[in-house]
Structure 1
Amino acid sequence: MLRGFALVAAVAFLCRHFLSEEEDVILQPGKSTVMSWIRERELSFIERLTANILKAGPMPKHVAFIMDGNRRFAQKAHVQRQEGHSQGFEKLAETLRLCLNLGIHEVTVYAFSIENFKRSKEEVDGLMELARQKFSRLLTEHENLERHGVCIRVLGDLTLLPIDLQQLIAKAVVATKAHNKCFLNVCFAYTSRHEIANAVKEMAWGVEQGLIKPSDVSEVLLGECLYSSNSPNPDLLIRTSGEVRLSDFLLWQTSYSCLVFQSVLWPEYSFWNLCEAVLQYQLSYRSLQKAGDLHREGQALQQMEADRCCVAELLQHRGNGKPMDAQSRQKELLNYTASREERVHCFLNALQHKRDTVFSDLSSQAVVA
């Protein structure tokens, strides 16, 4: 216990010390730079020391970021908004490297909300062009991404995007699909409400196709129909810029995540800000784990009760008039549960195949400049 408090105190001291001495981000308007998806950056001695101290405690495996503050940063630096967004991408590349240095192998970022389409046409067009540049750049960095084993996933409604951007995104996703060392999930043309509504539609499609029964629909199945179904839920969600809200991001997935709101603007985010957030996660780790475990136990009990109700209904319809002994009823329950699980498994495979086909078809149509 004392050792744990000593580690926490040491990291807290380092974070406080270095957060007060961060380097300013210096912009040079007009100077173009090549923006890589993964920036090669070695930690300093003091950063390595801090990372090792943090790793002595429980570490998040999956971190989500709401990268807020690009426009305010541009205003503060007296540059165009587009330059603020470009600096935000640069910071994403740097932060991905920092996460890898801390042993965090999955990152999800809120890159573009469906609500962002309500911004001025000039800004939206600029963001679409920035996305074209970045995904085109990603395709030229395939060897670097392969070396690091980075798998890129894009979560959202791609049909809302220009067709050429859809094709570029699909090509990037397909090109990195086999990589499995670390994962970057880019939420683009995304809101959580849209994602949940889409998951409901997918389950309705499954029922229409005869793949599942209406009685198979459950909270667990809905979660497995989300865009993010291939990823574990985030352990830690970080929002920058001082805003204390989720802005329709991963509402379903973050019910039992540690939420950290930091005042720093995203382009100014640093190793020490990340350490501070991880430290907050460690301090709340036990309570979050307990709450999550209780929720999963509740889900399992609900599913068992739902299966029992379905079996009782089946037996009633069968109606031979003879009461069934407990052992026979248990056997019926086990058989029903096994058949339901098989149906759900086949449905989820069909759903994944449908989604993969969309990306594959778009990828084959892509033209890379």
Structure 2
Amino acid sequence: MSWFKQTKRSFVESVCINVLKCGPIPRHVAFIMDGNRRYARKSAVSTIDGHKQGFERMTQMLEWCLDLGVDEVTVYAFAIDNFKRSDEEVNNLMDFANELFHKLLQDKDNLNETGKAIRFFGDLTLLRPDIQQLVAEVELSTQNNTQKVLNIAISYSSRHEITNALQELQTCVQNDIIKESDITESLISQFLYSNHSSEPDLLIRTSGEVRLSDFLLWQTNYSVIAFANVLWPEFTIWDLFSAIIYYQRNCSFSETAKHKHQLRLKSIEDKQTQEEWMASDDIDLDLFIANKRERLTKCLQYLENKRLNQLKSLAKSTLITTKT
């Protein structure tokens, strides 16, 4: 049950990959892996077996993405709303997750040798304690890797993520780390779970549904979105190729829109800084800007330390549990 496999591509697949790589390849691809339960009903197997088939398809997808040269992949593994499912299904999924993350942790030497980082997006406190501990160890053990990145959105909701970011920023204001006027769109982005990631260039959703289901709503503003009319366990390399071709046909417009937004955002923030300086008692603009940057640096360091300490605390609990 390996997460990262190495399978030889067929001649035709290899040719298609090389042709696609002549065009732009998305640096970051996100997946809404929908359809496991419908696949289980369609195949007359248990729901958990449908999810297991979905995991096997995910490992193949990661392999295909590596072959194409994709640097970062984000998968929607478990939404906060999924906790509303039956106790039996949730418990089975958590047991399966325990098994998978144990395997991932056992492969940490290989992950480090190949430079693969595993990150988790979501409210880890909502997970079962044993899962909390495992994901903390996995993320800590690969945190310095930069070659390839797999983000696993688990116990995740985009609205919850944005709300949490704003609450953290409010705490920084209350503790006099930053001023309320320091809060900008750019700073909010850096307080999301994805603060160390680039925004997805391509988002793929399977199962024929054409909605985002509260997934990366902030981050996918300028992403190319491809909908595949297949259940996730039936997703093939040809479906991925089709999505890449769709991306290549539309990415120019997406990149142009993103660039214009970034220029507009910088202009707005520069104007805001100028207005704040004029309304302040500071005489020197450069000093005003330097003080603001220092506040923002402390603010981001506060967040980084808090998240790192949370992971270390959970990982320590894992070691204690293991020894016991």
TM range (shorter): over 0.9
- Which residue of 2 is the match for residue 86 of structure 1? 52
**In the alignment, which residue of structure 2 is the partner of 1:262?**
228
How far apart are the structure 2 equivalents of 1:228 and 1:238? 18
What secondary structure does 1:284 align onto? helix
- CA displacement at 1:276 relative to structure 2: 0.6
Alpha carbons of structure 1 residues 368 and 270: separation in structure 2 relative to 1, 3 Å:
farther
CA contact (8 A) 1:68 1:240 kept: yes
Q: Are residue 365 (structure 1) and residue 317 (structure 2) matched?
A: yes
Structure-1 separation of matches of 2:273 and 2:143: 36
Given candidates 199, 212, 222, the residue that maps to 2:165 is 199
* Residues 346-355 or 219-228, more deviating: 346-355
Contact 1:168-1:368 at 8 Å conserved across structures: no
Q: 1:368 to 1:95 in 2, by over 3 A?
A: farther
Gaps of 5+ in 2: none
Q: Following TM superposition, by how much is the alpha carbon of 1:172 offset from its aligned partner in structure 2, in angstroms?
A: 1.0
Q: What residue is the counterpart of 1:277 in the other structure? A: 243
- Distance in 2 between the 1:86 and 1:267 partners? 9
> Residue type matched to 1:303 in 2?
E
Length, aligned pairs only: 321
Q: 3-state DSSP class of the match of 2:34? A: coil
CA distance in 2 between counterparts of 1:41 and 1:110 reads 24
Check if 1:45 corresponds to 2:14. Answer: no
The answer for the alignment partner of 1:125 in structure 2 is 91
Aligned partner of 2:146: which letter? N
The partner residue of 1:337 within 279, 286, 289 is 289
Structure 1 partner of 2:143: 177
Letter in structure 1 aligned against 2:176: G
1:46 positional shift: 1.1
SS in 2 for 1:115: helix
Corresponding position of 1:348:
300
Deviation string 1:147-169 (CA, Å, 9 cap, x unpaired) is 33211101100111111110111
CA contact (8 A) 1:82 1:123 kept: yes
Residues 4-153 of structure 1 aligned to structure 2 (within 5 Å): 35-153=1-119
Give SS of 2:153's match: strand
Write the mapping of 1:172-251 to structure 2, written as runs, cut at 5 A: 172-251=138-217
- Aligned partners of 1:368 and 1:129: how far apart in 2? 17
Change over 3 Å in CA distance of 1:82–1:176 after alignment to 2: same
Q: Deviation of residue 43 (structure 1)?
A: 1.3
TM-superposed CA distance for 1:205, in Å, is 1.4
Distance 1:368 1:281, change over 3 A: farther
User: SS in structure 2 opposite 1:65?
Assistant: strand
Task: State the shift of 1:334 in Å.
Answer: 3.1
Assess if the C-alpha contact under 8 Å between 1:307 and 1:333 holds in 2. no
Partner amino acid for 1:308?
A: Q
1:157 pairs with 123, 126, 131, which one? 123
Q: Which residue of 2 aligns with 1:8?
A: none
CA RMSD of superposed structures (Å): 1.3
Contact 1:70 1:85 in 2 (8 A): yes
The amino acid of 1:338's aligned partner reads A
Quote the sequence identity (%).
Answer: 45
Aligned equivalents of 1:254, 1:89: Cα separation in 2? 24
1:280 is paired with a residue whose SS is helix
**How far apart are the structure 1 equivalents of 2:52 and 2:41?**
14
